């Protein structure tokens, strides 16, 4: 959800910067549907790259989690899970790929829904302003 909200805020910022371009497209005769599809493709590109990079970094970090923690302990010269304080001295990590796929699809649907709403909102607001101007 953090990833989805960051993608949504990036897309809203991009669309607010592109208001001039949207108005130019309106003045050239572009319909709302064309502008909607242009920005939907924009959001799809961001979503796909974000999912690819985020998933790969997350899977690599979880796969090598024990060595990351050991290197972190050696770097800071402390023991994160001392054996005299905790029953276990490691964090058990198991990757369940069906859960990863479920999370990816949920994030994809969430970002598409929210970006579609924000695109529609900005296009509707700009079409009313261009009609009134």
Determine the structural domain holding residue 1 and report its residue range: 1-30
Q: What is the pLDDT of residue 117?
A: 79
Judgement on whether residues 48 and 101 belong to the same structural domain of the protein: yes
Percent of the chain with pLDDT over 90: 12
Q: What is the pLDDT of residue 97?
A: 92
Q: What is the mean pLDDT of residues 32-61?
A: 86
Residue 132 — very low, low, confident or very high, per pLDDT cuts 50/70/90? very low
Judgement on whether residues 16 and 65 belong to the same structural domain of the protein: no
Q: What is the mean pLDDT of residues 15-44?
A: 80
The C-alpha atoms of residue 53 and residue 7 are separated, in whole angstroms, by 13
Cα–Cα separations (whole angstroms), residue 99 to 4, 55, 59, 92: 17, 12, 12, 17
Contact between residue 114 and residue 8 where contact means Cβ atoms under 8 Å apart: yes
Judgement on whether residues 97 and 122 belong to the same structural domain of the protein: yes
- Please give the tally of structural domains in the chain: 2
Decide: pTM greater than 0.85. no
The dihedral formed by the CA atoms of 108, 110, 113 and 117, expressed in degrees to the nearest 10: -130
Judgement on whether residues 22 and 49 belong to the same structural domain of the protein: no
Judgement on whether residues 91 and 57 belong to the same structural domain of the protein: yes
């Amino acid at each position: 959800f953090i990833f989805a909200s960051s993608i949504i805020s990036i897309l809203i910022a991009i669309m607010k910067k592109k208001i001039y371009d949207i108005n130019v497209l309106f003045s050239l005769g572009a319909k709302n549907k064309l502008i909607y599809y242009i920005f939907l493709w924009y959001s799809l590109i961001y979503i796909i790259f974000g999912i690819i990079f985020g998933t790969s970094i997350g899977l690599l970090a979880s796969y090598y989690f024990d060595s990351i923690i050991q290197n972190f302990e050696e770097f800071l010269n402390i023991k994160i899970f001392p054996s005299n304080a905790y029953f276990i001295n490691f964090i058990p990590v198991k990757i369940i790929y069906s859960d990863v796929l479920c999370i990816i699809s949920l994030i994809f649907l969430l970002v598409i829904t929210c970006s579609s709403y924000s695109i529609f909102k900005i296009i509707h607001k700009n079409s009313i302003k261009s009609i009134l101007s």
